[in-house]
Amino acid sequence: MFIKNLPHKTVERLSQYRRSLLMILSKEKTHVFSHEIAQMLHITPVQVRRDLMLIGYSGNLRKGYDIKELIELIGKIIDSERGQRVAVIGLGNLGKAIISYFKGKRSKLAIIAAFDINPEKINRVYDGVACYHINQMAEIIKQNNISIGIIAAPAQQTAEIAEALVLAGIKGILNFTPKALNVPPFVYLEEYDMITSLEKVAFFAKKNDERFK
């Protein structure tokens, strides 16, 4: 299913809705109100209803939204029908955390390979994910039709790795390295840095502290 020009923020929230809904779905709880979803994610019920409107989902006036149906619809919109395969580059602490966190979470989005240069990690399986030497990357990516790369290797290597990923035909990159990347326009790039998050928390915590004193 395809919906024209879904806003970036809505896409993010759809992912969050699904995650939250998967957590509360049970035999007893089959339906949910917009204000319940809103409360779980610290947003307003209007926001939720608007997002669901954008994806064309209608709820029941008395019961709210059917959780199972909604989870499925979100899947139809944000997942790719044929699934997407993911590789992690750099099997250090962060790479491992990512792999163990994803394990079994999403059927349509599977981490199926890791790459590293450390001989102790290569040709071993971590949490169900096989680790290969970085110089086999292009080959393995093409063989397995991997379309997304997560970079969790040392910062200095980032540009080089990204270039190799692009050459190998990757379509999206999630970069956890503090080095910002340049990729061609047909590759979608998302960057995340924990320091920015932490400094933001620090700034507003400080501000709050003054305000509530």
Ligand X SMILES: NC(=O)c1ccc[n+]([C@@H]2O[C@H](COP(=O)([O-])OP(=O)(O)OC[C@H]3O[C@@H](n4cnc5c(N)ncnc54)[C@H](O)[C@@H]3O)[C@@H](O)[C@H]2O)c1
Q: Does 1 bind a copy of itself (CB under 8 A)?
A: no
Per the CB < 8 A criterion, the answer to whether 129 and 99 are in contact is yes
Pick one of 48, 131, 150, 162: the residue that binds a copy of itself (CB under 8 A): 150
Which 3-state string (H, E, C) describes the chain? CCCCCCCHHHHHHHHHHHHHHHHHCCCCCCEECHHHHHHHHCCCHHHHHHHHHHCCCCCECCCEEEHHHHHHHHHHHHCCCCCEEEEEECCCHHHHHHHHHHCCCCCCEEEEEEEECCCCCCCCEECCEEEEEHHHHHHHHHHCCEEEEEECCCHHHHHHHHHHHHHCCCCEEEECCCCCCCCCCCCEEEECCHHHHHHHHHHHHHHHHHHCC
Question: What is the footprint of ligand X within residues 191-210 (CB under 6 A)?
Answer: 192-194
Find which of a copy of itself, DNA, ligand X, none residue 154 binds, CB within 5 to 8 Å per kind.
Answer: ligand X
Handedness of CA 51, 101, 75, 3 (dihedral sign): positive
Q: Give 39 or 157: the residue with its C-beta nearer to DNA.
A: 39
- Site residues for a copy of itself, window 119-148 (CB under 8 A)? 147-148
Q: Tell the smallest beta-carbon distance from residue 73 to DNA (Å).
A: 12
Residues numbered 161 to 180 that lie near ligand X (CB under 6 A) are 161, 176-178
CB of 49 to ligand X, least distance (A): 26
Position of minimal CB gap to ligand X: 92
Locate 173 and state its tokens. Answer: 């990159």
Alpha-carbon Rg for the chain, nearest whole angstrom, is: 20
Applying CB under 8 A, the span of 54-62, 130-138, 158-166, 177-185 interacting with a copy of itself comes to 177-185
97 touching a copy of itself, by CB under 8 A: yes
Instruction: Based on the shown chain and the rule CB under 6 A, indicate whether residue 134 belongs to the binding site for ligand X.
Output: yes
Q: How far is the CB of 200 from DNA (least distance, A)?
A: 12
Q: Which is nearer to DNA, 35 or 106 (CB)?
A: 35
Binding site for a copy of itself (CB under 8 A): 8, 11-12, 15-16, 19-20, 23, 40-42, 78-80, 84, 86, 92-94, 96-98, 100-102, 105-106, 109, 147-148, 150, 171-174, 178-180, 185-190, 192-209, 211-212
